[in-house]
Structure formats: structure tokens, C-alpha cells
Amino acid sequence: MSTTSQVSAVLAQGGDIPAPHIEYGQIAPLLLVLGAAVVGVLVEAFAGRNARYYLQVPVAFLGLAGGFAWTIALAWRDNPHHVAAEGALGVDGPTLFIQGTILVLALVSLLLIAERGDKAGGHFAAQASALPGSEAEQRTTAMGFTQTEVFPLMMFAVAGMMMFPAANDLLTMFVALEVMSLPLYLLCGLARRRRLLSQEAAVKYFLLGAFSSAFFLYGAALLYGYAGSVRLSDISAQIGKDAGSETLLLSGVALLSVGLLFKLGGVPFHMWKPDVYQGAPTPITALMASCTVVAAFGGILRVYYVAFETLKWDWRPVMWGVAILTMVAGSIIAITQTDIKRMLAYSSIAHAGFLLMGVIASSADGLSSTMFYLVAYGFTSIGAFAVVTMVRDAGGEAGHLSRWAGLGKRSPVVAGVFAFFLLGFAGIPLTSGFTGKFAVFKAAVESGATPLVVVAVISSAVAAFFYVRVIVVMFFSEPDAEGPVVVAGPATAVAVALGVTATVVLGVIPQPVLDLAGQATTHMFVR
């Protein structure tokens, strides 16, 4: 019986409404991250300008690390298969695996964001202190020393990302979607050197995100009209009982899917991704390319595996078409790109198509392989974007592909690391990309989607072309006399090292993480 039905029954009998029961221990990782975000807001309100950075970074780090530690404790303490917060949140194996992945990737992204703030707040602030009053303040502001608000915004976004795959009803999922998206809209507009491009990207992301949220909410309303509940398990239980409302059901599924596919950039709902990836500050792009993708797929897996599992013969053909369009369009359009970040954006779109194959599989293997792929892709993405932040010229980051010519001769280590990440994206053996693709393809074949796997293999071959093209430009072109230089701070170097390590380990010794994902699926999504 749903909570609404229980309250109605109590009121009919003239009793008091029972107090809500919140399982704080089960949702403690989410509460820790939200608590760190609130503390960050208080720091912005009351701490002095020069002290904010040195307070915000430890608060954000402790919030993410504490949430990850508690997530591990929940996974190991008992069999996670609970509902919390009056059934609004599901605490189960896949949820904890996805939340742990988000927290780890957010910690690595924090290194890039903190490095950006440290360069502004440390080195440039020291230079600015030698200037007279107002001029020093202008220099410090121009360098971004006052942009410490990125840390609480990031923490709120991460909290929304954690809530999204755990949401056990559509209303909670919508709230999580907005908590995740609204801070990202702001973060995308904070680039210092390319303000107009960054602000344009933020406006586009906001407008298209508002449309997608409207589709999601309208779909949820239609599903409520069909099932009389927004609980995913109630919707699943109602499917097949009322044939007369099938149009209402299918319309709700379609509109809800539009909102979900927008967040992961599936074609034809991908238009925002290249512009936003290019215009946003690169550390924020790294956060979106890793954590947001993981959260979006976590929400899609929960919706389709819990609410629409018995309806798969209706939505799988449509999802086939979306996956094919996403893989083919992402791979082909990426060939025409001359900006590194836009190329990586279309690469992300193609990978979203590969990941959709795990959703289409509708099996335990499909679920576990998708979760492994998300871990592998997340670390490789952060590493690749971390390298992009290191290659700089007088105008900031060297985004145009021609500026990377001869980088292998100027900085062979950096160029070699970036080439390794590109080979990981391409799925070359002994990288995490190969293992992730193999696992997803295998699950799709076993579910009868062999033609889809054939399209995926061809798309992977096409995608390899533009990855190799970048490698050729870096190692087989003559460097420009006034070419970019490599600027690597310690935190960025650590983020790159973690990305390389994960890409190697998950490619050479993937079994421990595969087993961990498989164990998470033994406690499938709670209903």
C-alpha cells in the first residue's frame, strides 16, 4: 500500500497521521554531500574573500570522501535492498555501485576544479597583491579568485546526481533532476577567458534543459493518470491490467524517455552537448562528461528495469532506433570537428549509444556490463579533459586541433598520455574501453540484439578514425614555432595519473570490478 493510501485510511478512521520515518543511515552518503554543500554556502556568506578557497576545498573533499566511505560501508555491512524516506529512495546494489562511482569521479573532478581555483587564488593573487588597491582587486577578480562559489554549486549538483539513480518514484526523480541540472547551468557560464562562449553555452543548456524537464514532468503526469501513482513499482504492477489506457501509458513512456535521453545526449536530443562541452570551463566539462553521464544512465536503468520491464517489447524497438542513431551520428559527425572539446563531445554521444545497448539487453548481464562501462568511461573522460586543460597558449586552452600539431615532439609524455586516452575511447585491447565494449556487446548478443552489435562495431571502427587523426597530428606534424605550451599543476597531474591508472587496470585486470558490478546486480533494483 502506498503512503498516500495509508494516510487516507488513517484519516477515514479518524486517527492521527503517522510521522514520516526517515532511515538516515541508509541515505547518509547523500546527506553528507548535501551538508557539505550547505556548509559551502555558509562559507561564501561569512568567510573573507581570501579565506574562502582554503575553506571550500577541504569541505568539498571531506563531503565527497565521507559519502564514498559510507557508501562502501552500506554495501559491505548487509545485503542492500531497502527503501528509504517513505519509499522515495531505493538503496540497493546498483544504486550503491552507481553512487560510489559518482563520488569517486567527483573527487577526481574536484582536483581539476581546485587546481583552477588555486592558480587563480594563489599565484595570481600573489601578483595582484603588489598592485594598488582597486587595480589589485580588478586583477584578482579577472583571474577568478572570487569564483569559489563553484564548490557548493558542484556539491549540490553531485547530490542531485546521487539522488537521481536512487529515486523510487517519478516525483523524487524530477526533484533530483532539477537539483542536478540547475547548478550545472550556472557552472557552465563561469569560464573566465571565453566569457561570451561560456555564457552562450549556459543559456543553451538552460533553455533546452527546461524543455526536457517539461517533457519529463508531462510524461510523469500521464503515467500518474494511467497508474494512479508515481511509484515505479506501482506503475509496473498496473501495466497490462487496463488495456483501455494503453495510449496514455505509451504516451507517458515516450515523453518521460525524452527527458531522460536528453541528459545523456542521445540522438536526436543531443544538440546541447557539443556547444556546452566547448563553452563550459574544462574542469566542469570533465565533471559533466563523467558524473552526469553516470547519473543519467543510473536513472534510465532504474526506470526501464523497474517500471517498464514488462513493457520492453514496446519500448525496445524505439530504443534500438535511438541507439543506432546515437552511435552512427556521434561517430560520423565527430570526424568533421576541428575543436578538441567538440570532438570529445561527439565521442561522448557515440559512447552513449554503446551504453544504451546495456539498457536494451534488459538482463542482469546488461546491467552489470553497463555499470562497468560507466566506471571505465568516466575515468578516461576525466583524464582526457585534464590533458586538455594542460595544453595552453596565449589565449588560454589550445582548443583548435591545428594547435596540437607537433605536441608529441614538444611534450612527448603529455601527447602520449592523451593518445592513450584516445585509444581507450576507441576500444583498443588492453584498455578499459575494450573491456567495457566487449562486456556490453556480449550482453546485447545474448539478449538477441546481434544486428545492433554489428552497427556498434562498425561505428567503433569509424570512431577510431578521428581518434587516430588526432594522434597523427600530434606525432607526425611539425610543431609551430609559436605553438602551445604544457602547464601542469600538481592536482591536474594527479587527476591524469588516476585516469591512466584506471584505464590500464580496468583493461588489463578488469575482473575485480566486473565481479563487483556482478555482485551489485545480485541485489537488483528494489521495487
Q: What's residue 480's pLDDT? A: 76
Please give the full DSSP string across 297-354, using - where no structure is assigned: HHHHHHIIIIISGGGHHHHHHHHHHHHHHHHHHHHHHHHT--BHHHHHHHHHHHHHHH
What's the rounded Cα separation, in Å, for the pair 228 and 5?
11
Q: What does the block give as the cell for 416?
A: 602520449
Q: State if pTM tops 0.85.
A: yes
Q: What's residue 352's pLDDT? A: 94
Q: What's residue 160's pLDDT? A: 95
For 56, other C-beta atoms within 10 Å of its C-beta total: 27
Q: What's residue 138's pLDDT? A: 37
Q: What's residue 140's pLDDT? A: 36
Q: Which residue's C-alpha cell is 543531443? A: 270
pLDDT digits (tens, 9 = 90+) for 487-502: 888 999 999 999 999 9
Q: How far, rounded to the nearest angstrom, does the alpha carbon of residue 194 sit from its chain's CA centroid?
A: 23
Assess contact for 34 and 159: CB atoms under 8 A.
Answer: yes
Residue 291's pLDDT band, with cuts at 50, 70 and 90, is: very high
Degrees, nearest 5: CA angle 462-267-520? 85
420-444 average pLDDT score: 93
100-109 average pLDDT score: 95
Residue 78's pLDDT band, with cuts at 50, 70 and 90, is: low
Dihedral sign, Cα of residue 211, residue 216, residue 221, residue 225: positive
Dihedral sign, Cα of residue 428, residue 436, residue 501, residue 515: negative
Please give the full DSSP string across 338-396, using - where no structure is assigned: -BHHHHHHHHHHHHHHHHHHHHHH-SHHHHHHHHHHHHHHHHHHHHHHHHHHHEEETTE
pLDDT digits (tens, 9 = 90+) for 224-240: 998 888 998 888 888 87
Q: How far, rounded to the nearest angstrom, does the alpha carbon of residue 67 sit from its chain's CA centroid?
A: 17
Length of the chain: 527
Return the closest-CA partner of residue 385 out of 282, 489, 273. Answer: 282
Q: What's residue 8's pLDDT? A: 52
- Percent with pLDDT over 90 in the chain: 58
